[in-house]
Amino acid sequence: MEKEEVKLLGFWISPFVQRVKWALKLKGVDFEYVEQDIINKSPLLLELNPVYKKVPVLVHNGKVIAESTIILEYIDETWKNNPSLLPHDPYQRSLARFWADFSENTLIKLAVEALVTKGEQQEKAVRSTMEAIDKLEQGLKGRQFFGGDSIGYLDLVLGWISYFLPAWEELGSMKILDSSKFPAFTQWIDDFLSHPVIKNDLPPPRDEIKVYFVEISRKIAPLFQKIE
Ligand SMILES: N[C@@H](CCC(=O)N[C@@H](CS)C(=O)NCC(=O)O)C(=O)O
């Protein structure tokens, strides 16, 4: 049988890329990783993702798939071996997609606001981030992973929290991941990071994440300035 072409265009610190790498590894799919410069974009990236011009991009036997959550679904439907990433039950599947959307469109924005702002605005953003995490805490109770006994789609989508948020807490001098308030969620972080597949492909160390986000915070802070 001919070897499959599986290529992933990525960027070293991208949480969107990281979740795709983890999904491929969980499924045992061999792939070639091609690092991209997301500022000076390569002709390959522009050709493969002309709409958003972003990573990750997955190429599977000449077919091009963009947008990380869509790539996760493609991986799950293409390599049907265990672990299944999305639940089989349509309602459970819709819930996983709902909370994934919540992570992408609500939680991450609140956490970034908490990271880059100060004073009252930061306090408010920290409170809102904690309220958002509390919703996940309630959804997790009684389960080790959002996917149940194994890591699934929602765990991968939320994975960024496990390594970015502790770094952001240090940078923003704030506390969000309080284990007395979020016992299930903080346990989830420990279990997620110590899972054999995740542990063998950990994102960059905390110091590198912090250095990267000092620069990013400086650039994006003006976007969060409230006009009086
Ligand atoms: N919604 C996209 C987000 C991807 C994304 O923002 N990728 C960043 C890297 S972390 C990127 O390629 N940025 C380049 C740009 O914004 O021009 C996904 O889930 O794949």
- Under the banding of pLDDT at 50, 70 and 90, the label for residue 228 is low
> Residue written as tokens 């091609």?
34
- 216 close to ligand 1 (CB < 6 Angstrom): no
Residue 34, helix vs strand vs coil: strand
- 68 close to ligand 1 (CB < 6 Angstrom): yes
- 27 close to ligand 1 (CB < 6 Angstrom): no
Q: State the pLDDT at residue 118.
A: 94
Amino acid (1-letter code) at residue 192: F
Q: State the pLDDT at residue 109.
A: 96
Around Cβ 25, how many Cβ atoms within 10 Å? 16
User: Strands across the sheet with 57-60, in order?
Assistant: 32-35, 6-10, 57-60, 63-66
**CA 193: distance to chain centroid?**
13
Q: Is the pLDDT of residue 67 over 70?
A: yes
- Under the banding of pLDDT at 50, 70 and 90, the label for residue 35 is very high
Q: With contact defined as beta carbons under 8 Å apart, do 19 and 159 qualify? A: yes
Q: Positive or negative, the Cα torsion across 112, 193, 170, 186? A: positive
Q: State the pLDDT at residue 225.
A: 80
Q: State the pLDDT at residue 29.
A: 97
- 8 close to ligand 1 (CB < 6 Angstrom): no
Task: Give helix 90-102 / helix 119-140 axis angle, nearest 10°.
Answer: 170
- Under the banding of pLDDT at 50, 70 and 90, the label for residue 141 is confident
Residue in 9, 55, 209 to alter for ligand 1 test, most ligand atoms within 8 A of Cβ: 55
Atom of ligand 1 nearest to the CA of 53: 17
- 170 close to ligand 1 (CB < 6 Angstrom): no
Question: Residue 142 region, left (φ>0) first, then alpha (ψ -120 to 50), else beta?
Answer: left
Ligand 1 centroid–CA 26 distance in Å is: 22
Residue in 13, 20, 36, 38 to alter for ligand 1 test, most ligand atoms within 8 A of Cβ: 38
List the domains of the chain with CATH numbers. Answer: 6-78 (3.40.30.10), 90-224 (1.20.1050.10)
Atom of ligand 1 nearest to the CA of 66: 20
Mean pLDDT of the chain: 95
Of 4-8, 64-68, 75-79, 199-203, the range with the lowest mean pLDDT is 199-203
Q: Is the pLDDT of residue 134 over 90?
A: yes
Cis peptide before 56 (omega within 30 of 0): yes
pLDDT in tens, 163-218: 999 999 999 999 999 999 999 999 999 999 999 999 999 889 999 999 999 999 99
Residue nearest to atom 11 of ligand 1 (CA): 54
Q: With contact defined as beta carbons under 8 Å apart, do 167 and 209 qualify? A: yes
Ligand 1 centroid–CA 54 distance in Å is: 4
pLDDT in tens, 97-116: 999 999 999 999 999 999 99
- Under the banding of pLDDT at 50, 70 and 90, the label for residue 1 is low
176, exposed or middle or buried, with CB in 10 Å at 0-12, 13-18, 19+?
buried
Amino acid (1-letter code) at residue 167: A
Q: Token pair for residue 21?
A: 């790498």
Atom of ligand 1 nearest to the CA of 15: 10
- 16 close to ligand 1 (CB < 6 Angstrom): yes
Q: Is the pLDDT of residue 227 over 70?
A: no
Atom of ligand 1 nearest to the CA of 36: 12
